[in-house]
A and B are shown apart, each in its own frame.
Chain A
């Protein structure tokens, strides 16, 4: 399934917010089709790291290479990468003034210039896939949190990305809605999508992860396969963290 050439590569990435060193020597390599799950305590830089991959945040040191293109100030390169990297946010960030269908067709129409009928067909297929085809004409504000997040996933997929980034996609949801979103993500994983996913849903991690990454205080503390990560973590820090979130 997986290919050997990395599609996302972070090499010794450094980032500061003013004087605050958020990312310290962060390195990560993701192969095609690989599922990476990132976890770690709050404020450890997980969001910052994942947001550097599509340049929502700028890094100040080291290198980030996506699909063979190095992220730098070149706007065209950044736009090219963003077309191919979908992102799902913790707070959904759907466009409230557009219907669900318009949310899904916006980027295909205005970024890829796909004909309207084709974009709408694709959007309806995607809504089918995330199991809410009957909500196409509604506005995001009229949907439940779980439905909104599934729309957000569909919106990202509408650009036919080869890589998907998830930043705590279920942590803003009521518990009973978490599963419906995770099910969609598990299905997506099964289809061979390359995924980098920040989440504390360890059940999901066990089910889909090829690689677990643990971050703390801006550093990658541990990178290991899930079997080892959960049963015999290399570092004491990881052990503590897992104890906290699985313990209760």
Chain B
């Protein structure tokens, strides 16, 4: 009975000595309204903080209402006659642009009457991605489903057989191009990056030198120059008459570039695995690749999900650079759709829409990676 009281006395005494003023302020008075209490202790707990709070409120007051009136209350949502006349009369944003130009933005220069094909292809891929994200679908059949979807998507995009008109790759554009480049770039770069990361830690000096050299070389140049090399320089070395698809060249450039960065993320994971893990696998007689696949990589990759997804997000956004080699990705297609002089004044709305599409994809990746990290960590916490 005496002990707890002593403790309370000690605690109060200690608090009094350390911060006498705040102890008075924070003294709980049961009648005070809760949010007010919260504001007092978080927003106005010191003079500088109070000033910052007031400034922030002022800033929001200046920014939010005008933004709302531009973007929502005074915005023009529809255009009855298909021209920008209504927008020019209004004072707010011109979302009618989206109604008129969405197909150009989303599908670029793909033949207009065939837009249902890239639309269907994109929907299929997004549906597959959403399915694959769920753990309960991680079964071998998923691989076959993907194979089927890839074939169907290729047929939809190219056509040329089974009644679909042939559409060559320079005519592809918009979201399908962005999504396809990013997805294929990531899928191809990932295994390559693992090989590079393992190679950089190899005991064989030649392999180590090649992998290190590659990673450092690629990381030392901007993606734009890699794409430029792939599309302009590379064909110079090809024999006369041989041409390689421009899209393929851009894809190879993206892949090689992404792989170098991913490799460093993967290497970080490899370095975090205790040596004892490899030794235990060696002692059991597991050959190198099986040891890596079953013991080292599953642990290493789990650790570096955040930087890996970071790289995926970068790759997704970097696809917008393929415009410099003449491909119409989502951003370039948006820009092209604004070439119409009638709508050109409303380019801001166009870019906001494109940014929103990028954001939706990147944010999904980010959230998914957080979920995946938690999901894979269950049961294995050391």
Contact = CB atoms under 8 A, between A and B. Distances in A.
B5 interface: no
B299 A97 contact: yes
Contact of A110 (B274, B290, B379): B290
B35 interface: no
B382 A111 contact: no
Given A141-B381, A141-B382, A106 B298 contact: no
Q: Main SS of the interface on chain B?
A: helix
A56 B291 CA distance: 14
A86 B381 contact: no
Interface in A85-101: 85-87, 89, 91, 93-97, 99
B114 interface: no
A21 B299 CA distance: 35
A159 B279 contact: no
B381 A107 contact: no
A83 interface: yes
Contact of A86 (B279, B281, B283): B283
Q: Which of B274, B284, B382 has the most CB of A within 10 A?
A: B284
B380 interface: yes
Interface in B276-293: 276-277, 279-287, 290
Contacts of B147: none
B277 A93 contact: yes
Nearest to A152: B280
A96 B380 contact: yes
A54 interface: yes
Given A79-B287, A106-B284, A155-B284, A89 B382 contact: no
B286 A89 contact: no
A89 B276 contact: yes
Contacts of B302: 97
A159 B279 CA distance: 16
B149 interface: no
A63 interface: no
B138 to A, nearest CB: 15
A82 interface: yes
A56 B287 CA distance: 13
B295 interface: yes
A241 interface: no
Given A54-B283, A94-B280, A141-B382, 20 more contacts: A56-B282, A82-B283, A83-B285, A85-B283, A87-B280, A89-B280, A91-B276, A93-B280, A95-B299, A96-B380, A97-B299, A97-B302, A97-B380, A99-B379, A110-B286, A111-B284, A111-B290, A141-B381, A142-B379, A159-B285
Interface of B: 274, 276-277, 279-287, 290, 294-295, 298-299, 302, 379-382
